[in-house]
Amino acid sequence: MRIDILSLFPEMFNNVFNESIIKRAKELGKVDINIVNFRDFTNDPHNKVDDTPYGGGAGMVLTPQPIFDCVKSLRKDNSLVILLTPDGEVYKQSRAYELSHKEHIILICGHYEGFDERIRSICDMELSIGDYVLTGGEMAAMVIVDSVTRLLPGVITEESHLNDSFSGKLLDYPTYTKPRVYEGMEVPEVLLSGDHKKIAEYRYQESLKKTLERRPDLLDKE
């Protein structure tokens, strides 16, 4: 998979994309991530990419030309262009699975007060990572890249994400590791039994209990 990210602040991605699973996925050739500063595409003699809003109001607005030209230079037949915006569809694990099957994703990070409304016309999808407002789309792009990359075949074992919360209707089951007793708290006996059928049943029941307590809405999912 190839991911292009349009951002005015490319250095923000340095640490996040060079650690842990994303780093490994890049080294394995599972994902190729390219950060493009769309300021390099501006026709403005002073390198500007933003301007004051028509009609007045606070802040600066990203102009269409640099983003239009940057997307044009990157877009292929198999590309999916995604605008990161707080008024977009709220991003979910089901969308992460869908994106993990794409060959090429282009993520557009807004900044300042936002972007010229006409930029929406060149996008295939608009995503928000939640009902709050970030300074820019960079952290939203990192969230999407991270959640999609770990689903690419061969990056982590399939078993580890199939049981994850939001992969199905249930939240993940509780997990324990050594020591067997810690500060008086014991690992449930069944997990030490070696009886895989009983362990699977225990985990299912715990997942169900947790989901009913914390996120009953998930049980109504299609």
53 or 168: whose CB is closer to ligand SAM?
53
Task: Mark residues 106-125: x for contact with ligand SAM by CB under 6 A, - for none.
Answer: ---xxx-xxx----------
Check if 222 is active-site.
Answer: no
The catalytic residue among 4, 50, 66, 86 is 86
Residue 10 annotated in active site: no
**Active-site residue 86, yes or no?**
yes
129 belongs to the binding site for ligand SAM (CB under 6 A): yes
Q: What are phi and psi of 36, to 5 degrees?
A: -120, 125
Q: Which residue has the tokens 């557009």?
A: 108
Build a one-symbol-per-residue string for 65-104: x at contacts with ligand SAM by CB under 6 A, - elsewhere. Answer: -------------------xxxx-----------------
Closest approach of Cβ 210 to ligand SAM, in Å? 27
Picking from 124, 144, 119, the residue whose alpha carbon sits closest to that of residue 134 is 144
The vertex-88 CA angle with 79 and 80, nearest 5°, equals 5
1 binds ligand SAM, rule: CB under 6 A = no
Q: Cβ closer to ligand SAM: 70 or 84?
A: 84
Which value, to the nearest 10 degrees, does the dihedral of the CA atoms of residues 94, 97, 98, 102 take?
A: 160
- List 164, 186, 195, 201, catalytic entry: 164
Per CB under 6 A, does 6 bind ligand SAM? no
**x-or-dash pattern for ligand SAM, window 17-56, by CB under 6 A?**
----------------------------------------
- For this structure, is 216 an active site residue? no
Shortest distance, position 136 Cβ to ligand SAM, whole Å: 5
Annotated catalytic sites, by residue? Answer: 86, 113, 150, 164
Binding site for ligand SAM (CB under 6 A): 84-87, 109-111, 113-115, 128-130, 132-137, 140
